[in-house]
Amino acid sequence: MSIPVNAAGKVNLRTPEVMKLVQAQVEGHYRSPVVDYLRHTKSYLSANGLTVKLAKAFGFCYGVERAINMAYSAAKVFAGHDIYLLGEIIHNPEVNDQLQVMGIKQLKESRGVYDLDGLTREDVVIVPAFGAEVKVLNRLNEIGCYKVDTTCGDVMSVWKRVRQYRNQGTTSIIHGKAWHEETKATVSQAISESGGTHYLVVFTLDETDYVCNYIRKGGDKNEFLSKFEGAYSPGFDPDQHLVSVGVANQTTMMKNETEEVQRRFEQAMADRYGREALEKHFRKADTICGATQERQDALSEMLGVERMNLLLVVGGYNSSNTSHLAEMGEAVLPTYFIKNSEKLISAKEISHYDQHHQQEKISHDWLPEGNVVVGITAGASCPNNLLEETIRRLYEFRGIDVETLLPHDYREIVGLVPPTDTSAAHH
């Protein structure tokens, strides 16, 4: 396949010919007839005492679908070229493994630095949905290799906001995880090449309170810098650079927590400088990803309305938005954060991720006998086929093939069973 280049000299990965091939391939890898049926009918499954209900919103968001489609397109358009990916396309191991099977190689990070020295102009580099740091993007431009940028639009909206803060001489306060790829990319947008602009990343409300108390009363600067090591810009000085702040966030954080971070910084600035001077010292923006919020709202509704015995949250353990769904569940009922259906060892044993100790653990007698209602949700980077495999596994514990629970005519339409031969009825 020849490389389609538009009038501006950019490669067009979304030609009708390419997209037709890509959509068929993506559907083949990630589609789920069972999940499609439950989503479109807004129904649930129930048999042999086991009821399975899905949250109203779950799984792949638009940004993730777009990133995957572009990676698949790159594999077709640039067949014969070496194709590399900056880290992971999204935080889901099955999806990243599938890209490797397709010949896309991961560029590994070492101490926060990608090894780009071996790249040539003929190579292809895919920028993941989280985006990449400015210095990495600049280096790719210097090399002149083909760049396939799948950065999510919601992430770029945050970048736009922190650049505004930077241009106003305001320190960006980022509510997020300093070690996360998205936050690393975002903070790189907050500082200018000439220096003089700064950022600080806060992860928890306790960290927020620490900074807010420093704004109000001052404190031990060395203690501050030690506490937030790795989470602030070069040359950051809390005595100088917390006079004017603008709050933004990693797009996958909990919305109510980000709003609380904003409220506490606003109050700290009002206490320190007076509410009449607030405009000079404080700015904020709503930069939570819409899909993240939609999934959090759907789970919140599910937890409040449905009577469930337990919740399964399916997705990558390093997925920020998925981990927050698990946190929400844990606050209400027994919740198990699993990577895939293989973690459902038996009806007596489950291997699941313990976020507090950051490791998998085995729990026993997790699935009650008799009548039981299981709720399921998934993060924005989890494909539907992993949800179906989870549902299938649950019903295997009750001796049921999940496909038999779907209407026969639907199974015919999606090809799960051969179409009924009606010709004999006419003779």
Pseudo-torsion of CA 33, 35, 39, 40, nearest 10°? 10
Q: Residue 109: what pLDDT?
A: 78
Nearest to 379 by CA among 124, 138, 93, 101: 93
| Dist CA 335 CA 328 (whole Å) | 9
Confidence at residue 121, expressed as pLDDT on a 0 to 100 scale? 93
Tell me the fold of 29-60+291-413. Cobalt-precorrin-4 Transmethylase; domain 1 (3.40.1010)
Where does CATH 3.40.50.11270 sit in the chain? 62-151
Q: Specify the pLDDT at position 110.
A: 78
Cα–Cα dist 403/408, whole Å: 9
pTM: 0.88
Under 8 Å between Cβ of 417 and 409: no
Asked if residues 181 and 259 have their Cβ atoms less than 8 Å apart, the reply is: no
Give the pLDDT of residue 13: 86
- C-alpha distance from residue 405 to each of 71, 391, 400 (Å): 35, 11, 9
234 contacts: CB under 8 Å, gap ≥ 6: 191, 195
Q: Give CA separation, 403 vs 344, 391, 397, in Å.
A: 19, 10, 14
Q: What is the CATH number of domain 62-151?
A: 3.40.50.11270
CB 408 within 8 A of CB 57: no
Q: In the chain, where does the domain assigned CATH 3.40.1010.20 lie?
A: 29-60+291-413, 154-288
Place of tokens 């799948």: 150
Helix (H) or strand (E) holding 26: helix 16-30
Which pLDDT does position 8 carry in this prediction?
A: 52
Residue 103 CB neighbours (<10 A):
12
Instruction: For residue 143, give the nearest of 123, 127, 114 by alpha carbon.
Output: 123
Q: Closest by alpha carbon to 261, among 324, 211, 188?
A: 211
From CA 220, how far away is CA 166, in angstroms rounded?
A: 26
Look up residue 346 and give its DSSP letter. Answer: -
- What pLDDT does 239 receive? 97
Closest CA to 141 of 130, 127, 129, 154: 127
- Give domain 154-288's CATH architecture: 3-Layer(aba) Sandwich (3.40)
**pLDDT given at position 338:** 98
With tokens 């509510």, the residue in question is 175
Q: Which residues are catalytic?
A: 182
pLDDT (tens digit, 0 to 9) for every residue of the chain, 427 residues total?
Answer: 667 665 555 677 878 888 888 999 999 999 999 999 999 999 999 999 999 999 999 999 999 999 999 999 999 999 999 999 999 999 999 999 999 999 999 997 777 788 898 899 999 999 999 999 999 999 999 999 999 999 999 999 999 999 999 999 999 999 999 999 999 999 999 998 777 799 999 999 999 999 999 999 999 999 999 999 999 999 999 999 999 999 999 998 988 899 999 999 999 999 999 999 999 999 998 887 888 899 999 999 999 999 999 999 999 999 999 999 999 999 999 999 999 999 999 999 999 999 999 999 999 999 999 999 999 999 999 999 999 999 999 999 999 999 999 998 888 887 777 776 655 444 4
How high is the pLDDT of residue 16? 85
Residue 59: closest CA among 346, 389, 409, 403: 389
